[in-house]
Amino acid sequence: MKDMDDPVCPLDYRYGRKELLEIFGEKKRLQYFLDVEAALARAHAKIGNISKIAADEITKKATTKFVKVERVKQIEAETKHDVMAVTRALSEICKGEAGKYIHLGATSYDIVDTANALQFADSTEYIRKELKNLRDTFVNLSKKHKKTIMVGRTHGQHTIPITFGFKMAGYAMEVDRHLERIFECKSRLLVGKLSGAVGTGAALGPTALKLQEEMLKELRLGVETVGTQIVCRDRYNEMLSVLANIVTSMEKFATEIRNLQRDEIREVAEAFETKKQVGSSTMPHKRNPITCEQICGLARVVRGFVIPTYENAIQWHERDLCNSSSERFIIPHSIILTDWIVYQTNIVFKNLKVFPERMKKNLEISKGLPMAESLMTTLIGKGMGRGDAHELMRKISLKAAKENKTLKEVFVQENKKLKFLSDKEVNDALNPGNYLGAAEKIIDIVVKRFER
């Protein structure tokens, strides 16, 4: 038997917020089981199957104040059955005849899957709130850097100018879509069941459907209309898909910071959390984006749970046990890590160091080449055909790069022959601030949407 004071899983000592770790801890998990058993007893009493006195006694004792984790573990060591251990531990401390009505008509996964739904309800609310905080952080950065011009990049190469605020506005909208996804999937995810060994409710008698309705109404959960021995796992597939999508966005955001923090770019940087933080054990000068790298690494772990989750949905007939062991890893790890990743992402961006002067300097590295499109559109506006303007600017750009000259130098030489643009028109076209399109208006739309 492993010594529990010598933890193995990093969730026990390194990753995860206290609130989420508690939700998936042994004590809270036991309380969810007890909540379901108590709701079942009250449903039986409401229909008239058991006395209200018995239901009240079960409800009173269905708490970890009375049912101890240690006692449940003792019983489980003998019975090798987790739910039976809970029901027996609860019945031991119930007075009168109440104990014999515990778990009446139910099968184990009526309790397990319904308890899962209660955990999902509580834990995803933390993720939702932290996503909202992150969205607000991006909106604030979008406002603050509305006019902070930087070079846009595609294929890792300089393109046309954007603003850092524009980039952050895009991130805010992406996070908002994840908030929508969490909201939309909750109606399908937060369901429980009370329908017995194969889903027919046979052991519950003629009032089976009413019992299920009453129990789940008490727990504020939806009903699995046609279940088997378990809640249908397409619901869990959707949850893991949403979580994987969320952490993928977080990895995308973190990867952008890692790229922009490289010494040769250095447009933004992840802040050190403490004055004594060490970047490298051997190189004293290092300031590594370690939180962003942690985000990227842990996001890959969450995505790794997608495959076993989907495979768990393939059950033999009305149920096999293949899902049980893997879900003990999948459910807590994927939710705790997703919450942690979003939380850490928010810390990174709330404390992000932004260097506008370096952005300006990097824009100048390409010697005006990112403004070739601006000159092309200006030429088109003056009457040159689009194809001709594109070909002209392509040749001018290649020549500038080959001769290590600025775009302006080469264009001015060519313009003397063509006499298409005035000096002012050339200078205006080469000014990055004049070629931001609707970036500021788009930022205003985003800000207005979330500051109502």
Does 356 have pLDDT greater than 50? yes
Which DSSP symbol is given to 100? Answer: G
| Integer Cα distance of 230 and 198 in angstroms | 8
Q: Which pLDDT score, from 0 to 100, does residue 81 have?
A: 94
Does 94 have pLDDT greater than 50? yes
Residue 280 a catalytic site member: yes
Please state the rounded mean pLDDT for residues 328-355: 98
> What domains are defined for the chain?
10-104 (1.10.275.10), 109-361 (1.20.200.10), 366-440 (1.10.40.30)
At 304, the amino acid letter reads: G
Cβ distance 97 to 50 under 8 Å?
no
- Per-chain mean pLDDT for the chain: 94
Please state the rounded mean pLDDT for residues 360-366: 94
| Integer Cα distance of 240 and 218 in angstroms | 27
The 10s digit of each residue's pLDDT in 6-16 is 889 999 999 99
β-bridge partners, 162: 150
The 10s digit of each residue's pLDDT in 97-128 is 999 999 999 999 999 999 999 999 999 999 99
Please state the rounded mean pLDDT for residues 133-154: 98
The 10s digit of each residue's pLDDT in 153-190 is 999 999 999 999 999 999 999 999 999 999 999 999 99
Please list, residue by residue across 18-51, b when 16 or more beta carbons sit within 10 angstroms of its beta carbon and e when fewer do: eebbebbeeeebbbbbbbbbbbbbbbbbbeebbe
Cβ distance 370 to 428 under 8 Å?
no
Residue 333 a catalytic site member: no
Quick one: what percent of the chain has pLDDT higher than 70? 96
The residue annotated as part of the active site, out of 155, 187, 281, 285, is 155
Q: Which pLDDT score, from 0 to 100, does residue 61 have?
A: 98
Q: Which pLDDT score, from 0 to 100, does residue 418 have?
A: 83
CA distances in angstroms from 196 to 41, 109, 201, 204, listed in the order given: 15, 8, 5, 8
- The single residue listed with the structure tokens 């070079």 is 151
The residue annotated as part of the active site, out of 142, 195, 280, 324, is 280
Does 1 have pLDDT greater than 50? no
> What's the pTM?
0.93
